[in-house]
Structure formats: C-alpha cells, structure tokens
Amino acid sequence: MNERFSSMLLEKAVSEFAKLPGVGRKTAMRLVLHLLRQDTAAVEAFGNAIVTLKHEVRYCKVCHNISDTETCRICANPQRDASVVCVVEDIRAAMAVEATQQFRGVYHVLGGVISPMDGIGPGDLQIESLVLRVAAGGIKEVILALSTTMEGDTTNFYIYRKLEKMGVKLSAISRGISIGDELEYVDEITLGRSILNRTPFMGGVGS
Amino acid sequence: MNERFSSMLLEKAVSEFAKLPGVGRKTAMRLVLHLLRQDTAAVEAFGNAIVTLKHEVRYCKVCHNISDTETCRICANPQRDASVVCVVEDIRAAMAVEATQQFRGVYHVLGGVISPMDGIGPGDLQIESLVLRVAAGGIKEVILALSTTMEGDTTNFYIYRKLEKMGVKLSAISRGISIGDELEYVDEITLGRSILNRTPFMGGVGS
C-alpha cells in the first residue's frame, strides 16, 4: 500500500477510476474527490447506475443493439421502417446515425468489423444473423454504414457477397467532401472519389 | 428521454458519468462502454469502491485529512515526528508533499484557503483547530505549505498572526526556480524573489 494515501478506501477508489481508459492517477484523484464532495444520494446514483447497467443490460434479439428489453426500443417502435436495415459496427455508430435524425429504419449492430490483425473474423460478428434476418423476408434495403477504413471496406465486401443474390437492395453511405470543408484542404483520395462518384446537381443548396 | 439511446439504463449511466468534471457525453459513453466490456465483478468493484468510500470515509480528528479510522495512518504512525506540522490546503497537497518522501512530520489540512471572492473566511477552515493543536503543546515547528497565490499568501499571513506569539517556530516552503528550469524562461517575479531569497552555496549539486 502506498503511504501517500491516508485512507485505503480512497486509494481503492482512485485505483478503480485510474483503470478507466485515458484516466491517469491525478485525474482519478480529482474525479474521486469531486464525487466525495457530492451528497451520499448522488454518489449512490453514480455507483448504482453502472452496476445496474452491467447486471440488467441485454442485447436486442433482432438488431443486437444494447437494450433494456428483449427487443430494443427502436426495433419495437411501429413507426420505424423495419424494411430498411442500417448495418453499423457498434452501438456508438448506431447512436451517431440516430443523432442525424435522417434515418427512420432499423439497425443491425455487427459488434465490430473484420480485422485479421486483431483476430476478428466474420464468425465473431453478427453477420450470419444479418443473413438470416434478410432471408426471413420483409427487408427491402440494407444500408452499409461502416467506417471508411480497410477493415470497414473488407466487412462491407464480405456482407455484399453474402447478400448479393438474396434480392435485397444494397447501398452504402456516401463518401465525399464533408459539409463546410474547403476543397484545398481535402485529402486527394477523398476528393478523387468524390469526383468519380459525383451526383446529379438538383439546383439546391447542399444537394 | 433521448431516442438515440436504445437503453434507458445505458442513458442513465452515461448521464451520471457526464456529470464528472471534464467529462463530456462522448467521453462518458466511451467510459461506460469500456466498463460494460469488463466482467461483472470488475464493474461491481468499481461501483462499490466509490460508494463505500462515501459511506465510510472519515476525517482524522487530529489533522482533518481523509482517513479510514478516527486518527489517520500518518498521525497514528509512531515513526512520524508529531512535533513538526505541515499546514496544507487540502488532501491533494498533503499527498504531493508525501510523494516527495522528504517530510517525516505530520499534517494539518485546512480544507481550503481564505478567499473572500468565494465567500471562504477563516471560520470555514481548520485554522482554530490548528491554534488549539499548537496551544496543546508538543509542537516545535509549523511549516506553511500553501499555494503561492494571493489567497495562499493571505492565509499564511492570517495563520502567522494567530501563531506568532505562541512560541512555535514558523516556516514556509521555499519559493524559487524549479529544478531543471532555464533562467531565461522563468517569470520575473519568481526570479526576482529567488535572488532576494538566495541561500548560502554549499558547493554541492542542487544545494
């Protein structure tokens, strides 16, 4: 035990916080002392929130997103279009798409991307369940919304090969210049692709 | 409730983490998903550490440092010199002094510094208990180790006036050039003071 700590309970709490990614011991100390200044109910709310989440969290049996119930709120929502499935890497990607408020379909969370370097193959991901989901019928379009990395591209291609003969429309999120970017600062690959993949100009702003 | 979250439990946990100082919602999400990937025992250890600390923490009746027991480990240690008391602002300052391994005396934690701007007066700090501690006898030296800010200086002076006639040696941590600093980058006030407060050169490195 470190003599710097006058309290073992404090040392234990700081050690636990310092295990979090990107949190060093000084930051951990600052966070723990901050919580210690809050009232007991607030500290209990903090501690219980993460423990309860861990105990009670489930994964949606349809889309594999994190859920409180057997079927997640998005899959269970009758106002969402269950015939359009957006394939994402993880829950954070699903949340990023939700935040745009541009998508009213449903999701399929793969749980990662194919990455031989990290020992992640198709069998480690929810790809087979996507194929079964499409095979079960009712799905018109599958939108591939993975990261624009080599691993994302590999996974896109793998899924494409699995689904191409199943009579479902396959699309991928568009790649190009970010809104607000100045052309001279865009990297050559993105700019080159955005010229090749140019879209008809409809006369509107941002179209 | 935010529809972006497929799980209310997840949203609750993220909200709790986002209350921590310096933690935004994206970081909170990253920390919560990190914990969710750990096993249940690890998550319980994390949650329980902070709740247990909040429930069971006490403050040492002698030095007011955070403690697991009525008297803290430093005050209770017979190998520490109880006749030399280092006055610090808070527990982090006490830990910083401990980390130097240069001090074998004991502490007195004020719980802050006098700051009229923040509404903190002498009565809000453990100054009266310091006076009583000195009055009780057995203390030869009081080392003032507060921050070198206006508030720290004000508090130093206030304590000096309270203790100056009590027959105890009063000292303050030395101020000057940090070890390893190059003179041209030192601010003028520090450099000026370090010339005025020059110390006899003993011929050694760093002396």
> CA distances (Å), A205 to each of A184, B58, B155, B182, in order?
20, 63, 62, 56
* Shortest CA gap A188–chain B (Å): 30
User: How is the beta sheet containing B141-144 ordered, strand by strand?
Assistant: B105-109, B81-88, B141-144, B169-172
> CA distances (Å), A131 to each of A91, A125, A127, B38, in order?
19, 12, 6, 29
Q: What is the CATH number of the domain that holds B22?
A: 1.10.8.420
Q: What residues of B are in contact with residue A21 (Cβ under 8 Å)?
A: 30-31, 34
Q: What residues of B are in contact with residue A57 (Cβ under 8 Å)?
A: 7, 9-10, 36
- In this prediction, residue B50 carries a pLDDT of 96
- Chain-chain contact of A7 with B67 (C-beta, under 8 angstroms): yes
Do residues B18 and A45 lie in contact, with contact meaning Cβ atoms separated by under 8 Å? no
Q: pLDDT digit string (tens) for A37-80? A: 999 999 999 999 999 999 999 999 999 999 999 999 899 999 99
Do residues A11 and A1 lie in contact, with contact meaning Cβ atoms separated by under 8 Å? yes
Residue A202 confidence (pLDDT) above 80: no
Most B CBs within 10 A among A14, A33, A39, A53, hence the mutation to make, goes to A53
Tell me which chain B residue has its CA closest to the CA of residue A32: B50
Share of chain B above pLDDT 90, in %: 66
Q: What is the CATH number of the domain that holds B120?
A: 3.40.1360.10
* Shortest CA gap A158–chain B (Å): 26
Q: What residues of A are in contact with residue B19 (Cβ under 8 Å)?
A: 46
Amino acid at A144: L
Q: pLDDT digit string (tens) for A113-136? A: 999 999 999 999 999 999 999 999
**What span, in angstroms and rounded, lies between the C-alpha atoms of A93 and A104?**
15
- In this prediction, residue A60 carries a pLDDT of 94
Total domains present in chain A: 2
**Residue A78 within a domain:** yes
Q: Comparing A112 with A195, which gets the higher pLDDT?
A: A112
- Chain-chain contact of B4 with A55 (C-beta, under 8 angstroms): no
Which band of pLDDT confidence, cut at 50, 70 and 90, is reported for residue A139?
very high
**Residue B205 within a domain:** no
- Chain-chain contact of A47 with B45 (C-beta, under 8 angstroms): no
* Shortest CA gap A34–chain B (Å): 8
Verify that B83 and B118 share a domain, yes or no. Answer: yes
Q: For B53, which of A6, A9, A72 is closest by C-beta distance?
A: A9
Residue B207 confidence (pLDDT) above 70: no
User: Which distant-in-sequence residues (6+ apart) come within 8 Å of B65 by Cβ?
Assistant: A6, A7, B59, B72, B74, B75, B91, B94, B107, B109
To the nearest 10 degrees (0 to 180), the angle between helices A25-37 and B91-100 is: 150
Q: pLDDT digit string (tens) for A80-101? A: 999 999 999 999 899 888 888 8
Do residues A161 and A144 lie in contact, with contact meaning Cβ atoms separated by under 8 Å? no
pTM, to two decimals: 0.76
* Shortest CA gap B177–chain A (Å): 24
- In this prediction, residue A203 carries a pLDDT of 62
Which band of pLDDT confidence, cut at 50, 70 and 90, is reported for residue B1?
very low
Q: pLDDT digit string (tens) for B73-131? A: 899 999 999 999 999 999 989 988 888 888 999 999 999 999 999 999 999 999 999 99
* Shortest CA gap A126–chain B (Å): 17
Geometric angle at alpha carbon A194, from A192 and A199, rounded to 5°: 145
Verify that B167 and B73 share a domain, yes or no. Answer: yes
Query: Which residue in the block uniquely carries the two structure tokens 């793998």?
Result: A158
Residue B155 confidence (pLDDT) above 90: yes
- In this prediction, residue A117 carries a pLDDT of 92
Query: Which residue in the block uniquely carries the two structure tokens 């896109």?
Result: A156
- Chain-chain contact of B13 with A66 (C-beta, under 8 angstroms): no
Residue A3 confidence (pLDDT) above 80: no
**Residue A195 within a domain:** no
Q: What residues of A are in contact with residue B74 (Cβ under 8 Å)?
A: 3, 6
> CA distances (Å), A7 to each of A75, B60, B66, in order?
48, 10, 6
**Residue A22 within a domain:** yes
- Chain-chain contact of A6 with B65 (C-beta, under 8 angstroms): yes
- Chain-chain contact of B4 with A54 (C-beta, under 8 angstroms): no
Verify that B131 and B168 share a domain, yes or no. Answer: yes
- Chain-chain contact of A13 with B73 (C-beta, under 8 angstroms): no
Most B CBs within 10 A among A19, A34, A54, hence the mutation to make, goes to A54
Q: pLDDT digit string (tens) for A148-190? A: 889 999 999 999 999 989 999 999 888 888 877 887 888 888 8
| CA neighbor of A168 nearest in space, from A133, A199, A197 | A133
DSSP B177: P
User: What is the residue range of B101's domain?
Assistant: 66-172
Q: What residues of B are in contact with residue A55 (Cβ under 8 Å)?
A: 40
Tell me which chain B residue has its CA closest to the CA of residue A75: B6
Token pair recorded at residue B142: 């009081």
Which band of pLDDT confidence, cut at 50, 70 and 90, is reported for residue A205?
low
* Shortest CA gap A197–chain B (Å): 30
ipTM above 0.95, yes or no: no
**Residue A167 within a domain:** yes
Verify that A93 and A137 share a domain, yes or no. Answer: yes
Verify that B50 and B71 share a domain, yes or no. Answer: no
* Shortest CA gap A32–chain B (Å): 7
- In this prediction, residue A1 carries a pLDDT of 44
User: Which distant-in-sequence residues (6+ apart) come within 8 Å of A156 by Cβ?
Assistant: A144, A146, A172
Verify that B83 and B25 share a domain, yes or no. Answer: no
Do residues A71 and B10 lie in contact, with contact meaning Cβ atoms separated by under 8 Å? no
Verify that B51 and B103 share a domain, yes or no. Answer: no
User: Which distant-in-sequence residues (6+ apart) come within 8 Å of B21 by Cβ?
Assistant: A30, A31, A34
Verify that B155 and B94 share a domain, yes or no. Answer: yes
* Interface A:B, Cβ pairs < 8 A: 169
- Chain-chain contact of A44 with B35 (C-beta, under 8 angstroms): no
**Residue A46 within a domain:** yes
- Chain-chain contact of B91 with A56 (C-beta, under 8 angstroms): no
Verify that B24 and B95 share a domain, yes or no. Answer: no
Verify that B74 and B138 share a domain, yes or no. Answer: yes
**Residue A165 within a domain:** yes
Verify that A76 and A160 share a domain, yes or no. Answer: yes
- Chain-chain contact of B10 with A54 (C-beta, under 8 angstroms): no
Verify that A111 and A167 share a domain, yes or no. Answer: yes
Share of chain A above pLDDT 90, in %: 66
Long-range contacts of A32-40 (CB under 8 A, 24+ apart): A32/B50, A32/B53, A33/B91, A33/B92, A34/B20, A34/B21, A35/B20, A35/B50, A35/B54, A36/B53, A36/B54, A36/B57, A36/B66, A40/B54, A40/B55
**Residue A90 within a domain:** yes
